[in-house]
Amino acid sequence: MKNLRGKAVFITGGGSGLGKAMAARFIEEGASVTVADRNAETRQEAEALGAAFVQLDVTDPKAFEAAIARLGRLDILINNAGIGAGYSALHEADLADWQRVLDVNLTGVFHGMKFGLAKMVAQNAPGVVINTASITGISAFPNAQAYCASKAAVAHLTRCAAIEYGALRIRINAIAPTIVMTPLMEQHLPTDDSRESTLARYKSMNPLPGMPEPEDIAAAAAFLASDDARFITGVVLPVDGGYTAR
Ligand SMILES: NC(=O)c1ccc[n+]([C@@H]2O[C@H](COP(=O)([O-])OP(=O)(O)OC[C@H]3O[C@@H](n4cnc5c(N)ncnc54)[C@H](O)[C@@H]3O)[C@@H](O)[C@H]2O)c1
C-alpha cells in the first residue's frame, strides 16, 4: 500500500478527526504529509504519526500563502478544516455565527485553492485537490443553514475549479461524508439521557447500517489522490452509506 510514495501532501484541519485519519493513511501510503491546524495542541500527535506540523488558521490569507510558499513542493492539497456553529431556526440565526462558519468552511477552502493551485501551476506538474464537503451540502437539514450552505458552496466550488484546471492535469474533487463520530460531532451530542437515542438515530439514518469510521473517509481520500482515480475530476463523492441516494 504505497500508492502515494514521494507525494507531498498538505492537510488543513489535519490535527483531529477526519483530517488526522487522512494524515495517518497518507503516511501509510508513503506520502510526506504536512498537517496544518489552528490548534497547536494537535502538533504532538501529528508529529508522532510522522507528519510535519504548521499552526495555521485557514481564514488568514497571509498566513496560508506563507505556509504554502514554505513547502518544498505540493502534490496533494486537502482542504478539510471545518467547524459547525450557530445551530438555530433561520429567523433566529446570528449573523456573526453565519459569518464565522462561512469564513472557515468556505473562504478557508477558497484560500487553500487559491494559494495551493498557484503553487501547483508554477510546478507545471499534475496535482490533486480534495475538499471536504458533507452530505449536508447535498441534502437539506434543519437548523444548520450556515453549515449546509457552506458545504453546498464547497461542492460547487470544487466543480468550477475542476473544469478550470483539468487542462493542467490538476484533478479537483470533494468528499461528502455522512455523520462520523469525531470531536466535531461529539461536541454536538447531548450529554443527558437523549445521548444514546441520538447515537442510535445516527446509526440508523443511512441505508447501510451503522456509521463510518474516520478511516473510511480517509480511504476515499487516498483513492481520489491516487492514480487509480486519474480520470476522475469534478466529483463530489458521498461516503454516506447511501444516505444521499434516497
Ligand atoms: N464528522 C462529521 O460527521 C463530518 C461529516 C461531514 C463533513 N465533515 C467535515 O469534515 C471536516 C473535518 O471535520 P471533523 O469531523 O474531523 O472535525 P474535528 O473538529 O475533529 O477536526 C477539525 C479540525 O479542523 C481544525 N480547524 C477548525 N477550524 C480551523 C481553522 N480556521 N483553521 C485551521 N484549522 C481549523 C480543528 O482545530 C480540528 O483539528 C470538516 O470540514 C467537517 O465539516 C465532518
- 147 catalytic? Reply is yes
| Residues 186, 164: Cα–Cα separation, whole Å | 37
CB of 56 within 6 A of ligand 1: the answer is yes
Global pTM reads 0.98
What the chain holds in terms of domains, given with CATH numbers, is 8-177+212-237 (3.40.50.720)
CB of 15 within 6 A of ligand 1: the answer is yes
Size of the chain, expressed as the number of residues it contains: 246
Instruction: Name the average pLDDT for the chain.
Output: 97
CB of 171 within 6 A of ligand 1: the answer is no
C-alpha cell at 95: 449573523
DSSP string, 5-33: TT-EEEEETTTSHHHHHHHHHHHHTT-EE
Residue of 83, 138, 215, 244 to test ligand 1 pocket, by largest number of atoms within 8 Å of CB: 83
Residue of 18, 22, 132, 185 to test ligand 1 pocket, by largest number of atoms within 8 Å of CB: 18
Give the pLDDT confidence of 167-209 residue by residue, as tens digits: 999 999 999 999 999 999 998 899 999 999 999 999 999 999 9
